[in-house]
Chains A and B, each alone.
Chain A
Amino acid sequence: MEYFLELFFSGLTRGSIYALIALGYTMVYGIIGLINFAHGEIYMIGAFTALIVASVLTVLGFNQLAILLCAGFAAVVYSSAYGYTVEKIAYKPLRNAPRLSPLISAIGMSIFLQNYVLLAQTSDFMPFPALIPEFEFMEPYAHIVGSSELVIFLVTTLVMVLLTLLIKFSSIGKAMRATAQDKKMAMLLGIDVNKIISITFVIGSALAAIGGLLIASHIGQINFYIGFIAGIKAFTAAVLGGIGSIPGAVLGSFILGWTESFATGYISSDYEDVFAFSILVLILIFKPAGLLGRDKTKKV
């Protein structure tokens, strides 16, 4: 039972991180119908920025809470800035290009950003300071669920709630939904579509940065390649839940997290990623639009 709970919570943690990244994918896809391959790289850059800021502040001798806040703030700001810039450079000129062009451009961007960090920093794994403190009240449960796992779950939940509120009730959220439904009509109603797309990239990138900071602090090391794997997994999760759908992305992420966690725990850790992709293939065979995605009937 204890082992089961341990795996359950580890799956929950994984799922939370996937969800934070998957939301960026699904929001961008919902609005411009593009698989933003560079999104995983944005997450990686968030983690790196946090690492750099945290290390500098540690050397300067700040206390832990200040470091956590500053690192988090810097990660969010810089990731958003990168997301915004990537969109402006690589996707905006391609709005009306053939469907595959932005995808290639995104893959190119992803390769570019990976190598940019590789060259400017290092190709080795860098140790990431444990920014999240160990809580005393968690002591008795530490063998099942760690403090950082708890924090990851809580932060993710908070972020989800805020995001839902933003999208449901704010005017920006309304504009975003309108743009996702019909870009031309939204434009006619006076919505600045380019601005909304930029905002979507910024929000998605900020979420990815939070995910990057949390998981890097939890695992304790990062390198330039972490974005690729996490990106593909998160994208899988988004597709699993039905891409374009926000609750779908969250649901898909948790399913993926638990699948991986239980499969590695009970079957074999070698095939962790195989399980993740197999469940994706299985679900798509039986439900081609994903779990919560609407199956659009095309009218002629």
Chain B
Amino acid sequence: MIIVDYLKKSFFVAIWFMFLTFPIMVIRVDSIEGIVEWRWQNMLLVGIGSFILSLVGRYIRIKQEKAARSVQKGRVQQLKSSLLIDPKMYLPGLALISLLVLVFPFLFSVYQTNIMTTALMYIVLGLGLNIVVGLAGLLDLGYVAFYAVGAYCYALLNHHFGLSFWLALPLGALLGALFGIVLGFPVLRLRGDYLAIVTLGFGEIIRLVLENWNEFSFGPSGIANIDRPNFFGIDMSLNESIIALYYMMVCLVLFSIFMVNRLQSSRIGRAWIALREDEIACQAMGIDKTKTKLTAFALGATWAGMVGVIFAAKTTFVNPASFTFLESAIILSIVVLGGMGSIVGVVVGALVLILLPEYLRAFSDYRMLLFGAIMVIMMVFRPQGIIGNVRKSYLFQEKKG
């Protein structure tokens, strides 16, 4: 009986969606020629598609509810958390992954390596934003601004003064941090969503200035022919330098993971988490709110500045179109999709979100559509992210004997 009920509900959903998509999916007008094209087959497709999706969605919901009720879930949860905590469980996996990472450029083509480098860049960006959003709980929608600052820092200095990549890298990081503090100061008093919109505005301001201030940033045409990084003065072909950049990114990812992990359990990291959980209680415990928030902004922006420099060096070309709001949204999605505050989550999230569109190129027209849909579906069915953050807990063990 229940099944009939579900079929009936899904049928109505299908009818509703056929109605909903009617003008946009079915009719196409060429207003210059005055021809109306009716695409009825689309309506049929929408009907069938939404019917199946609605059934699948209902099925997953029921399963989830059942799982929540049964004891089984406890065991799965246990297995998963022990997979992340117990060295015996994760060491072999880690060894396998590191081996794969090391030999990746030799197994796959240069094109694949290049994509992987991009994914690694987003891992670092995600880790940086994770400090601001995941740990300190400050919703930053303009993170890409710091990324742009780093990229333009290297691009401009290289263009005018021929500054080398290795000098620009710390400089970009520093400049990112500086901008983080500059933005951080005025917005400290703002809470939650106000902060979100101001950071969004800030990101847009940076992009628009870069687009319009032609004398400074060369406007929308951007800056081309930026030097690739030079590794120990070795002359390298294009392919070799892509592989070298890949290894450099691997090192940077490891460094970032190490740093963020250390930061997380440090005094300042715990202050961020406290601030995220309850601002008032946190202040009552004697934590300096201003300083804590500013360090979160500055440290988050540092990573973005650094990756910005690498981005400019990797593509050898920057223009403002690379730093739109969509980019901020993607980085934020990496953090949230992976699981806020969780380092493993950010890594997985970045790999999924960056590699997925690349390999969805087969359906290249539909990849942004699917990207949006996956974000929604993911949030609806698993709001805590792919890998939820495992809170650090300390186990008291009695001395034996």
B20 close to A82 (CB less than 8 A): yes
A236 close to B197 (CB less than 8 A): yes
Asked whether A117 is an interface residue with its Cβ less than 8 Å from the other chain, the reply is yes
B375 close to A111 (CB less than 8 A): yes
List the A side residues contacting B332 at CB < 8 Å: 104, 107
A74 to B193, CA, bound (A): 33
A290 to B32, CA, bound (A): 46
Number of interface residues of A (CB under 8 A): 70
Q: Which one of B336, B366, B372 lies within 8 Å of A109 (CB-CB)?
A: B372
A119 to B365, CA, bound (A): 8
B36 close to A271 (CB less than 8 A): no
A212 to B252, CA, bound (A): 47
B369 close to A119 (CB less than 8 A): yes
Q: List A107-129 residues whose CB lies under 8 Å from chain B.
A: 107-117, 119-122, 126-127, 129
List the A side residues contacting B198 at CB < 8 Å: 280-281, 284
A298 to B283, CA, bound (A): 13
List the B side residues contacting A188 at CB < 8 Å: none
Q: Which one of B28, B281, B379 lies within 8 Å of A104 (CB-CB)?
A: B379
List the A side residues contacting B99 at CB < 8 Å: none
Q: Which one of A78, A129, A285 lies within 8 Å of B20 (CB-CB)?
A: A78
A300 close to B280 (CB less than 8 A): yes
Q: Which one of B36, B340, B372 lies within 8 Å of A100 (CB-CB)?
A: B340
Q: Chain B's nearest CB lies how many Å from the CB of A260? A: 13
A274 close to B193 (CB less than 8 A): no
A111 close to B371 (CB less than 8 A): yes
A78 to B194, CA, bound (A): 31
Closest to A89 in B: B376
B200 close to A232 (CB less than 8 A): yes
List the B side residues contacting A129 at CB < 8 Å: 31
B24 close to A98 (CB less than 8 A): no
Q: List A54-84 residues whose CB lies under 8 Å from chain B.
A: 55-56, 58-59, 74, 78, 81-82
Asked whether B251 is an interface residue with its Cβ less than 8 Å from the other chain, the reply is no
A55 close to B36 (CB less than 8 A): yes
Q: Chain A's nearest CB lies how many Å from the CB of B186? A: 5
A44-52, A138-146, A167-175, A202-210: which one contacts chain B?
A44-52
B380 close to A270 (CB less than 8 A): no
**Which among B25, B281, B383 has the greatest number of chain A C-beta atoms within 10 A?**
B383
List the A side residues contacting B337 at CB < 8 Å: 104
B163-171, B205-213, B257-265: which one contacts chain A?
B205-213
B201 close to A280 (CB less than 8 A): yes
A270 to B211, CA, bound (A): 9
Closest to B366 in A: A119
Q: Chain A's nearest CB lies how many Å from the CB of B191? A: 7
List the B side residues contacting A8 at CB < 8 Å: none
Q: Which one of B187, B204, B375, B383 lies within 8 Å of A108 (CB-CB)?
A: B375
List the B side residues contacting A122 at CB < 8 Å: 28
Closest to A279 in B: B201
List the B side residues contacting A113 at CB < 8 Å: 372
Asked whether B374 is an interface residue with its Cβ less than 8 Å from the other chain, the reply is yes
List the A side residues contacting B333 at CB < 8 Å: 104, 107-108
Asked whether A288 is an interface residue with its Cβ less than 8 Å from the other chain, the reply is yes
When each residue 320-344 of chain B gets 1 if its CB lies under 8 Å from chain A and 0 otherwise, what string results? Answer: 0000011001001100110010000
Asked whether B44 is an interface residue with its Cβ less than 8 Å from the other chain, the reply is no
List the B side residues contacting A99 at CB < 8 Å: 192
Q: List B21-57 residues whose CB lies under 8 Å from chain A.
A: 21, 23-25, 27-29, 31-32, 34-36, 42
List the A side residues contacting B202 at CB < 8 Å: 277, 281
A108 to B379, CA, bound (A): 9
A180 to B192, CA, bound (A): 18
Asked whether A264 is an interface residue with its Cβ less than 8 Å from the other chain, the reply is no
A290 to B189, CA, bound (A): 12
A271 close to B208 (CB less than 8 A): yes
Asked whether B62 is an interface residue with its Cβ less than 8 Å from the other chain, the reply is no
A274 close to B189 (CB less than 8 A): no
Closest to A82 in B: B20
List the A side residues contacting B32 at CB < 8 Å: 127
Closest to A296 in B: B191
Asked whether A53 is an interface residue with its Cβ less than 8 Å from the other chain, the reply is yes
A81 to B24, CA, bound (A): 13
List the A side residues contacting B369 at CB < 8 Å: 111-112, 115-116, 119
A61 to B19, CA, bound (A): 25
A235 to B280, CA, bound (A): 28
B23 close to A53 (CB less than 8 A): yes
Q: Which one of B194, B281, B379 lies within 8 Å of A105 (CB-CB)?
A: B379
A120 close to B197 (CB less than 8 A): no
A58 close to B365 (CB less than 8 A): no
Check A55/B31 contact, CB under 8 A, given A48-B24, A112-B372, A288-B189.
yes
Q: Chain B's nearest CB lies how many Å from the CB of A293? A: 9
Asked whether B231 is an interface residue with its Cβ less than 8 Å from the other chain, the reply is no
Q: List B85-110 residues whose CB lies under 8 Å from chain A.
A: none
List the B side residues contacting A102 at CB < 8 Å: 379
B31 close to A108 (CB less than 8 A): no
Q: Chain B's nearest CB lies how many Å from the CB of A233? A: 10
Asked whether B139 is an interface residue with its Cβ less than 8 Å from the other chain, the reply is yes
Q: Which one of B31, B375, B384 lies within 8 Å of A126 (CB-CB)?
A: B31
Asked whether B356 is an interface residue with its Cβ less than 8 Å from the other chain, the reply is no
A115 close to B379 (CB less than 8 A): no
Q: Which one of B27, B139, B186 lies within 8 Å of A285 (CB-CB)?
A: B186
List the B side residues contacting A110 at CB < 8 Å: 372
Check A120/B379 contact, CB under 8 A, given A280-B198, A288-B191, A300-B280.
no
Asked whether A101 is an interface residue with its Cβ less than 8 Å from the other chain, the reply is yes
- A selection of 25 A-B contacts at a CB cut-off of 8 Å is A33-B193, A35-B193, A78-B23, A81-B19, A97-B383, A100-B133, A104-B336, A104-B337, A107-B332, A108-B371, A108-B375, A109-B376, A111-B368, A114-B368, A119-B365, A120-B42, A121-B24, A232-B204, A235-B197, A236-B197, A274-B209, A274-B212, A277-B205, A288-B190, A300-B280
* Chain A to chain B: the 3 pairs with minimum beta-carbon distance, closest first: A108-B375, A112-B372, A111-B372
Chain A interface residues (CB < 8 Å from chain B)? 29, 33, 35, 45, 48-49, 51-53, 55-56, 58-59, 74, 78, 81-82, 85, 89-90, 93-94, 97-105, 107-117, 119-122, 126-127, 129, 228, 232, 235-236, 239, 243, 270-271, 273-274, 277-278, 280-281, 284-285, 288-290, 298, 300
Extra pairs beyond A102-B379, A278-B205 (12, CB < 8 Å)? A55-B31, A82-B20, A90-B379, A94-B380, A103-B196, A107-B329, A108-B375, A114-B368, A114-B372, A126-B31, A236-B201, A277-B205
